[in-house]
Amino acid sequence: MSYLVFARKWRPQTFSDVIAQEHVTKTLCNAIDTQRIGHAYLFTGPRGVGKTTTARILAKALNCENGPTPDPCMVCDACLRITSGGHLDVLEIDGASNRGIDEIRDLREKARYAAAEGGYKIYIIDEVHMLTREAFNALLKILEEPPDKVIFIFATTEPRKVPATILSRCQRFDFRRIPSSVMGKYISDEAGKEDISIDSDALSLVCRASGGSMRDALSIMDQLVSFSGKNITGDSVSSLLGLVEADLLADICESVLRSKGVRALDLVEDALVRGYSIEELIDALVGFLRHLLLAASGAEKGIKDLSDGELALVQQTVANVSDVHVLNVLRLISGASDQIRLGNSPRISLEAALMTASKMGIAFGFEELPAVTEKVAVVAVKAELVSKTVKPVIIENKQEELKKEEEQAEVSPSPKVKATSKVIEKKEVTSGLDLNEKEKENSVVRQVSGLFDMIPESR
Ligand SMILES: [Zn+2]
């Protein structure tokens, strides 16, 4: 038996096999059930998410000897020949290589003849946006007066390049990227049938590298099986795709966040010795920092696709680190990435960014953020309690004082700092806490407020 790549071997053969596109397959099944079959369909969406596959299934559903039926039998002559690509009335045309007016005129001539096998004549035109303007005009003429029992299925990744006159004559279906969780389950199920074992780290890396395209994911799987046999691990995926290991990324990020710049530079040196390029390293760092930012800011959705191991690593790295701090570091590193694209020295750009990022904590007067964030939280809670318990008369007195101060103070760091400081001053009136502690808290609040002021988006 000849070797079949996974993308062909595991290709869905019925509407119910198509994953993550239920909004499309359900509508098509209903249309077939109620015999409301259109003349032209436009399937749009990213590459490798099932557009052409669905077009072939639709062709089968229409031309099956028991059809039209949403559940083609898969065993009749028509079904078998459509599956193998040998059906006379189901014609697949690549829009990129048949883009001229002559090809479309030829198509128009042939479309006039009835289907050789008595069913529907179905033209599947892939990458239809590649057609020339003249070719689109010729196509439009057919769509304006479509011959009986001729159906066009256009597939495109760029619907914006398809003329509005064509679009308005098509039933449009937008295919979506395949979510990692759905893709991961599909791959592990199919791999299981072939006795291929793939661990969760590997699965998560493959799904992420595919960018939501099943075809890309399955191509990676083909390479992985050639590369490491039937036992696929996260390490084999990292080696094959040249991915920087998550452990190393976590180490670098942790060093930067905890103000250990020198250690971060040492780790970069190690990574380069191991053969990663600066560009690979920066891209991987930006990706990892994004996960850290999502974790630090509690945006669970964005990190749900990580494997358990990676998730634990991300959470451990940002433990007690504020989202603002991560955001600043992310900005610096992605700024370095822009610098490199502008042609500046890659290594210096990365090292400078890492050092600047690691100094950031120190610049604001703290090396370990946890203590600070806790303090701020305590101050906020105390202030809240005080504002509820202070007797009105005291507040009034204090407010007069504050008003005077406000008039006197011409230059102020920022309204936010002033406001926060005032809350704490109010608290002093009644709480009777140690003054030194107050001053420390005030200073922390000023630093943190200053930090927020530096980052407009964080508000
Ligand atoms: Zn059939």
Q: Per-residue pLDDT for the chain (459 aa), expressed as one digit of tens each?
A: 567 899 999 999 999 999 999 999 999 999 999 999 999 999 999 999 999 999 999 999 999 999 799 999 999 999 999 999 899 999 999 998 988 889 888 888 888 888 888 789 999 999 999 999 999 999 999 999 888 899 999 999 999 999 999 999 999 999 999 998 899 999 999 999 999 999 988 999 999 889 899 999 999 999 999 998 999 998 899 888 888 888 899 999 999 998 899 999 999 999 999 888 898 899 999 999 999 999 999 988 888 878 888 889 999 998 888 888 899 999 999 998 888 888 778 889 899 999 999 888 665 444 544 434 444 444 444 444 444 444 444 444 555 555 655 555 544 444 444 444 444 444 443 344 444 555 555 554 455 444 444 444 433
Find out if CATH 1.10.1530.10 is the number for domain 180-241.
no
Query: What residues form DSSP beta bridges with 156?
Result: 44
Give the C-alpha separation, 394 to 401, whole Å.
11
CA 23 – ligand 1 centroid, Å = 24
CA 71 – ligand 1 centroid, Å = 8
CA 82 – ligand 1 centroid, Å = 9
CA 70 – ligand 1 centroid, Å = 11
Task: Check: CB of residue 90 under 8 Å from CB of residue 59.
Answer: yes
In this chain, the answer to whether the domains covering 6-174 and 180-241 adopt an identical fold is: no
CA 193 – ligand 1 centroid, Å = 25
Kindly state the tokens that stand for 40.
């032209």
In terms of CATH architecture, what is 6-174? 3-Layer(aba) Sandwich (3.40)
Phi/psi at 365 (5° precision): 90, 10
- Grouping H, G, I as helix, E, B as strand and the rest as coil, residue 1 is coil
**Domain extent listing, the chain:** 6-174, 180-241, 246-363, 369-458
By the 10 Å C-beta count (0-12 exposed, 13-18 middle, 19+ buried), 315 is classed as: middle
Q: Which amino acid, 239?
A: S
CA 53 – ligand 1 centroid, Å = 16
CA 441 – ligand 1 centroid, Å = 76
CATH class of 246-363: mainly alpha
CA 87 – ligand 1 centroid, Å = 12
pLDDT of residue 123: 95
CA 88 – ligand 1 centroid, Å = 15
CA 335 – ligand 1 centroid, Å = 57
DSSP H helical segments within 242-345, as ranges?
Answer: 246-257, 261-273, 278-296, 300-303, 308-317, 323-341
Residue matched to tokens 């007797």: 391
